Structure 1
């Protein structure tokens, strides 16, 4: 004899399912409240080339001086160490082949977008006719994105001017004819304080009566 399930029993079945789903949802919400995740204020690792902004409340960074100021005393050995983060993409050896980036032997003073056989972005190809002089390299290494918007280089830049100058000095040494580093610019003399002449001493209070 067959047993037919009437609508009342179907309603009980659906009600039971809904009650179970509601219970699971409530348990999930309560567990999230009890075991809330808190992300660390600082990531557990740093990505090379990504520059951090100043901490909140930290004093403002000192304004950069002209590139020549840092280049005059740049440390080539330090530049070689800093350049290691670039060596995966760039070759600095004489006759070295292009890699992900163009070969950089003799780059100081060379024309922009002038490495033979390398496919430059439109941003740099449009700068042909200009050269990688001190100021151009300074701006590029500080922020490739800002110097030539739309270029293919993903490196964020070198924030510290001393490190930037060291890398440029190292690249300059990787040349058949290294250029002399620029001399440091003369420091601007502070304006001399104006001295009041002795003749301007205050007159006696009764001088007007004479």
Structure 2
């Protein structure tokens, strides 16, 4: 019985980071994480800065916001923004879309990314 419970706990602890990477994050913590992004990205429609507005992010493809000048690499990427594709991108932007113009090294923590994405799902609508 104890071995079975121990095995179950190991399985649960092993799967926790996977759930976090899928967007099961905390929007309140994600709002704090967004402060890193807010220097270049805004959430209001049409509010492009150094980076494109994130308003409506999950309703469009990468590089298709009409009033922002995207890199050719981003335009060619073929990415449709979902929580999963954004998770991969913000983990390592240059590996996901080589030669993109976003000067960001990435967010290593799957939990931090999940929190940020949970916030963006709500705030970018």
TM-score by length of 2: 0.79
Higher alpha-carbon Rg: 1
| Per-residue CA distance 1:105-162 (angstroms, 9 max, x = gap) | 121242111222111111101124x311122101111010110010111111111100
Q: Which residue of 2 aligns with 1:26?
A: none
Q: In the TM superposition, what is the alpha-carbon distance from 1:73 to its structure 2 partner?
A: 3.2
Q: Higher relative CO (CA 8 A, sep ≥ 6), structure 1 or 2? A: 2
Contact 2:46 2:67 in 1 (8 A): no
Q: 1:78 to 1:150 in 2, by over 3 A?
A: same
User: Counterpart in 2 of 1:97?
Assistant: 47
Unmatched segments (≥5 aa) in structure 1: 1-61, 177-210
CA-based RMSD: 2.0
Tell me, in whole angstroms, the C-alpha distance in 2 between the residues paired with 1:79 and 1:156.
18
Aligned residue pair count:
111
Query: Whole-Å Cα distance in 2 between the matches of residues 175 and 138 of structure 1?
Result: 15
For the residue of structure 2 that corresponds to 1:153, the secondary structure is coil
Give the gaps of 5 or more residues in structure 2: 1-13
C-alpha separation in 2, matches of 1:133 and 1:152: 20
The alignment's TM-score, normalised by the length of structure 1, stands at 0.49
**Quick one: distance in 2 between partners of 1:72 and 1:117?**
28
Provide the C-alpha distance between the structure 1 equivalents of 2:109 and 2:23, rounded to a whole number of angstroms: 16
Counterpart residue number, 2:9: none
Query: Residues 77 and 151 (structure 1 numbering): CA distance in 2 closer, same or farther, change over 3 Å?
Result: same
Bigger fraction of residues in helix: 2
Match of 2:104 in 1: 155
Q: Provide the C-alpha distance between the structure 2 equivalents of 1:63 and 1:148, rounded to a whole number of angstroms.
A: 27
Structure 1 moving runs of 4+ over 6 Å: none
